[in-house]
Amino acid sequence: MTKLLIVESPAKAKTIGKYLGSEYQVVASVGHVRDLPKSNKKAIDMDHFTPHYEVSAGKEKVLHEIERLAKKSDEVLLATDPDREGEAIAWHIAEAVNFGDKPVHRVVFHEITKDAIVEALGHSRNIDENLRRAQEARRVLDRLVGYDLSGIIWKKVRYGLSAGRVQSPALRILVEREREIKAFKPEQYFTIIANTKTSEKAKLPLICSVEPKEQKEAERIVSVGKNKLWQVVSIEESEVKRSPRAPFTTSTLQQAASTRLGFSPSRTMRTAQKLYEAGLITYMRTDSTTLSKQAIGQIAGTIEKTFGKDLIEIRVFTTKSKNAQEAHEAVRPTNANLKTAGHSVEEKNLYSLIWARTIASQMKDARTMRTKILANIISNDKKDIIPDFQANGSRTIFAGWLNADPGAKGEDIELPKVSREDKLDLIDISALEKFTEPPSRYSEAGLVKELEARGIGRPSTYASIIKTLEDREYVTKEGRSLKPTDTGEVVSTFLEDNFNEYISDTFTADMEDKLDLIAEGKIGYEKTLSDFYKPFAKDVKAKEKLAKATNLGDANPNLKCPKCGSLMIIKLGRSGKFLSCSKYPDCDGALLIDGTEMPKDKIIGTHPKTNKEITLKNGKYGPYVEMPTDETIGKKIKKPKLRRASVPKEIKPEEVTLDQAVHFLSLPRELGNHPETGKMISANIGRFGPYIVHDTDFRSIKKPEDVYKIELSRALEILKEPKKKRGFTKKKKSVE
> Pairing state of beta strands 689-694 and 697-700?
antiparallel
Closest CB to Zn ion among residues 349, 580: 580
* Contact present, 128 and 326 (Cβ < 8 Å): no
* Interactions with Zn ion, residue window 368-407 (CB under 5 A): none
DSSP 663-705: HHTTPSEEEEE-TTT--EEEEEEETTEEEEEETTEEEE--TT-
Instruction: Say how far apart CA 467 and CA 196 lie, in whole Å.
Output: 51
134-142, 356-364, 559-567, 614-622 -> range binding Zn ion (CB under 5 A): 559-567
Of the residues 563, 638, 641, 731, which one makes contact with Zn ion according to CB under 5 A: 563
Q: What are phi and psi of 51, to 5 degrees?
A: -80, 145
Q: How far is the CB of 490 from Zn ion (least distance, A)?
A: 23
Q: How far is the CB of 623 from Zn ion (least distance, A)?
A: 22
Q: Of 106, 89, 84, 87, nearest to 34 (Cα)?
A: 89
- Neighbouring-strand partners of residue 305: none
Closest CB to Zn ion among residues 581, 710: 581
221-229, 511-519, 555-563, 689-697 -> range binding Zn ion (CB under 5 A): 555-563
* Distances from the Cα of 319 to the Cα of 167, 382, 451, 486, angstroms: 26, 57, 17, 39
Instruction: Say how far apart CA 310 and CA 619 lie, in whole Å.
Output: 70
Closest CB to Zn ion among residues 143, 583: 583
According to DSSP, residue 125 is labeled: B
For the annotated catalytic residues, the residue numbers are 283
Can you tell me whether residue 733 is helix, strand or coil?
coil
* Contact present, 312 and 276 (Cβ < 8 Å): no
Closest CB to Zn ion among residues 127, 567: 567
Instruction: Say how far apart CA 247 and CA 317 lie, in whole Å.
Output: 8
**Helix 250-261 × helix 265-277 angle, to 10°:** 110
Closest CB to Zn ion among residues 479, 553: 553
How many residues contact Zn ion, by CB under 5 A? 8
Instruction: Say how far apart CA 323 and CA 461 lie, in whole Å.
Output: 14
Q: Of 174, 146, 264, nearest to 474 (Cα)?
A: 174
Q: What are phi and psi of 476, to 5 degrees?
A: -120, 155
Closest CB to Zn ion among residues 23, 736: 736
152-160, 384-392, 566-574, 704-712 -> range binding Zn ion (CB under 5 A): 566-574
The 3-class SS string of 563-621 reads CCCCEEEEEEECCEEEEEECCCCCCCCEEECCCCECCCCEEEEECCCCCCEEEEEEECC
Of the residues 229, 564, 637, 642, which one makes contact with Zn ion according to CB under 5 A: 564
* Contact status: 555 vs Zn ion (CB under 5 A): no
Q: State in Å, rounded, how far the first CA of the chain is from the last one.
A: 67
* Contact present, 23 and 1 (Cβ < 8 Å): yes
* Contact present, 389 and 376 (Cβ < 8 Å): yes
Q: Is 99 left (phi over 0), alpha (psi -120 to 50) or beta?
A: alpha
* Contact present, 356 and 334 (Cβ < 8 Å): no
* Interactions with Zn ion, residue window 439-498 (CB under 5 A): none
Q: How far is the CB of 712 from Zn ion (least distance, A)?
A: 46
Can you tell me whether residue 219 is helix, strand or coil?
helix
Q: How far is the CB of 735 from Zn ion (least distance, A)?
A: 23
Of the residues 515, 561, 662, 693, which one makes contact with Zn ion according to CB under 5 A: 561
Of the residues 566, 606, 660, 684, which one makes contact with Zn ion according to CB under 5 A: 566
Q: How far is the CB of 580 from Zn ion (least distance, A)?
A: 9
Closest CB to Zn ion among residues 573, 589: 589
Q: How far is the CB of 588 from Zn ion (least distance, A)?
A: 7
Q: How far is the CB of 566 from Zn ion (least distance, A)?
A: 5
Q: How far is the CB of 584 from Zn ion (least distance, A)?
A: 7
* Distances from the Cα of 54 to the Cα of 42, 73, 415, angstroms: 10, 26, 70
Q: How far is the CB of 705 from Zn ion (least distance, A)?
A: 41
DSSP 339-396: -S--SSHHHHHHHHHHHHHHHHTTBPPEEEEEEEEEEEE----GGG--PPEEEEEEEE
Closest CB to Zn ion among residues 43, 561: 561
H/E run at residue 163: none
CB within 8 Å of 706: residues ≥ 6 apart = none
Closest CB to Zn ion among residues 366, 555: 555
Closest CB to Zn ion among residues 121, 587: 587
H/E run at residue 424: strand 423-435
String marking each residue 139-158 x if it binds Zn ion according to CB under 5 A = --------------------
Closest CB to Zn ion among residues 385, 564: 564
Q: How far is the CB of 578 from Zn ion (least distance, A)?
A: 13
* Interactions with Zn ion, residue window 574-603 (CB under 5 A): 581, 583, 587, 589
Q: How far is the CB of 579 from Zn ion (least distance, A)?
A: 10
572-601 burial: b if 16+ Cβ within 10 Å, else e: bbbbebbbbbbbbeebebbbeeeeeebeee
Q: Which residues bind Zn ion (CB under 5 A)?
A: 561, 563-564, 566, 581, 583, 587, 589
